[in-house]
Amino acid sequence: MPMNTGFTARYRVPRGKGGSGRVHGSPRRLPTVVIGAGPYGLATAAWLSAAGTERRVFGEPMECWSANMPDGMFLKSVPAASSVSAPEAGYRLEDFRTARGHGPVGDRYPVPVEEMIAYGRWFQERRVPEVERRRVRSIGRADGLFGVTLDSGEEFLAGRVVMATGLVPFAHEPPELTGLPAELVSHTSRHHDLGRFSGQRIAVLGAGQSALESAALLHEAGAFPTVIARARSVAFGTPPDTDRPSDRPRPVRVLKPGSPLGPGWSLLACARGGGVIRHLPQDVRLRMLRSVLGPSGGWWLRERVEDRVPVLCGRGVRSAVAEDGGVRLEIEAVGDGRRTETLRADHLLLATGYRVDVDRLTLLAPELRREVETFHGAPRLSSGFESSVPGLFFTGLAAAPTFGPVLRFVAGTGFAARRLAGAVAAGSRERP
């Protein structure tokens, strides 16, 4: 049974938005609240507005990209796969470049993060001007509706809530390495200026893009990084032969068709088949999420890492203790815990990725979190991205365990926003 938290008693429907009396419990008369103004929140808002859905959108536009990713980073996704979806033409990354007087670019152009941030803000100003740059403090249940409290203290009722709060709440820190003070160990998502580590010895844990790019940027900023990777070797992508997939010879295109996730039939299936992936057994979906586009560095990183940054492959960190103002790491060979070595560093940087866990979304009241049915921490979602709590939607990374790897990338915004906005407009209730 939904709980009455007192919200319905306290709040009135604003005049002109469904009446002036007390709430009578119709979610359709109340705004849909989108929490998040990153690519997924912005795309969702754009598609909701096209569907004529009353909405309020909260968040700092492109905050994760400007505050939780390193300055000087390049996108691993190609320009053609880095556009935020809108129902109308004219809002793609290439349109932004044209508006700024820049020419077209293809697959061999790594997009600088600064360009992506500027593009996202340009998109927001033109397509989602209603964004309120405020933080939502909490979401509670209120007679089948949602009570929303902002940091400013404002409280209001919402008929539906879309969680587009992104990756940062899901930053994964191995529990055995988190007992140290923040000046000795931190997750990559806590940094945008790696230059602060200049002159320091930094142990970087991980083998993916984030680890390898952080190591390159640290090295270029005058720090002394060492990468520690469980993988037997670190992998880098291969530079695209041509700027446009359509310029590749026909046999190559048949064998490896282009897709927003990269060339190949399996990547094409992941990029286009989110609706089908949802029907696969959950173990298969979770395995796909781990293995498709597994850890590797972008092709342009190879020359910035190889022969410049020491990489200790096939090793894991067993323990980390504070010592002499730095950190002493006990490193063991993967599969042979007897082979150990010691590494001393000034800081341990965890490039250990992100794991979806609804319990980490403390923005949602505990009783609401308990109501969300999950599998391995991820919310069960309907084909319209609705959770087991009617009216509560999840998009972006939180939806990747359901719809597959494309939801980890900006390229998934079209699939997600179109479906989600359609489900909200239809007011349909389908079991997740």
**Residue (9 or 67) nearer to ligand FAD, CB:** 67
Give CA 407 to chain center in angstroms: 8
Give the Å distances, CA to CA, from 211 to 183, 353, 378. 18, 9, 25
Tell me the residue length of the chain. Answer: 432
Q: CB of 80: closest distance to ligand FAD in angstroms? A: 11
Residue 6 has phi, psi (to 5 degrees) of 100, -15
Residue 393, strand partner residues: 162, 386
Contact call for residue 75 and ligand FAD (CB under 6 A):
yes
Match 């996202």 to its residue by tokens: 120
**Which range, of 59-67, 101-109, 195-203, 270-278, touches ligand FAD by CB under 6 A?**
59-67
Pairing of strands 201-205, 224-229: parallel
> What angle (nearest 5°) sits at the alpha carbon of residue 262, between those of residues 257 and 268?
55
Q: How far apart are the C-alpha atoms of 62 and 81, rounded to whole Å?
A: 17
Q: How far apart are the first and last CA of the chain?
A: 19
**Residue (61 or 144) nearer to ligand FAD, CB:** 61
Q: How far apart are the C-alpha atoms of 312 and 143, rounded to whole Å?
A: 55
Q: How far apart are the C-alpha atoms of 245 and 370, rounded to whole Å?
A: 46
Provide CB contacts within 8 A for 357, sequence distance 6+.
170, 377, 378
Contact call for residue 41 and ligand FAD (CB under 6 A):
yes
Q: Pick from 3, 18, 60, 126 the residue near ligand FAD by CB under 6 A.
A: 60
Contact call for residue 32 and ligand FAD (CB under 6 A):
no
Q: CB of 128: closest distance to ligand FAD in angstroms? A: 11
**Residue (305 or 331) nearer to ligand FAD, CB:** 305
Q: Pick from 13, 23, 33, 35 the residue near ligand FAD by CB under 6 A.
A: 35
Contact call for residue 115 and ligand FAD (CB under 6 A):
no
**Residue (343 or 421) nearer to ligand FAD, CB:** 421
| DSSP-assigned letter for residue 318 | E
**Residue (167 or 320) nearer to ligand FAD, CB:** 167
Q: How many residues bind ligand FAD (CB under 6 A)?
A: 31
Contact call for residue 135 and ligand FAD (CB under 6 A):
yes
**Residue (195 or 326) nearer to ligand FAD, CB:** 195
**Which range, of 72-80, 242-250, 309-317, 332-340, touches ligand FAD by CB under 6 A?**
72-80
Q: CB of 340: closest distance to ligand FAD in angstroms? A: 30
Burial 38-71 (b: 16+ CB within 10 A, else e): bbbbbbbbbbbbbbebbbbbbbebbbbbbebbbe
Q: Pick from 91, 96, 393, 409 the residue near ligand FAD by CB under 6 A.
A: 409
Q: Pick from 240, 396, 405, 414 the residue near ligand FAD by CB under 6 A.
A: 396
Q: Pick from 56, 76, 160, 191 the residue near ligand FAD by CB under 6 A.
A: 76
Q: Pick from 40, 91, 96, 122 the residue near ligand FAD by CB under 6 A.
A: 40
Q: Pick from 57, 64, 177, 205 the residue near ligand FAD by CB under 6 A.
A: 64
* Window 353-382: contact mask with ligand FAD (x via CB under 6 A): ----------x-------------------
**Residue (57 or 228) nearer to ligand FAD, CB:** 57
Asked if 207 and 228 touch (Cβ cutoff 8 Å), the reply is no
Q: Three-state DSSP class for 339?
A: strand
Q: Pick from 33, 46, 57, 69 the residue near ligand FAD by CB under 6 A.
A: 69
Give the Å distances, CA to CA, from 360 to 69, 171, 399. 20, 9, 15
User: Tokens standing for 173?
Assistant: 């820190």
Asked if 395 and 389 touch (Cβ cutoff 8 Å), the reply is no
Asked if 204 and 227 touch (Cβ cutoff 8 Å), the reply is yes
* Window 140-179: contact mask with ligand FAD (x via CB under 6 A): ------------------------xxxxx-----------
User: Tokens standing for 66?
Assistant: 């400007």
**Residue (18 or 195) nearer to ligand FAD, CB:** 195
Q: With left for phi above 0 and alpha for psi between -120 and 50, is residue 250 left, alpha or beta? A: alpha
Q: Pick from 38, 79, 384, 401 the residue near ligand FAD by CB under 6 A.
A: 38
Q: Pick from 77, 186, 259, 382 the residue near ligand FAD by CB under 6 A.
A: 77
Q: How far apart are the C-alpha atoms of 388 and 322, rounded to whole Å?
A: 44
Binding site for ligand FAD (CB under 6 A): 35-41, 58-60, 63-64, 69, 75-77, 82, 135-136, 164-168, 210, 363, 396, 408-411
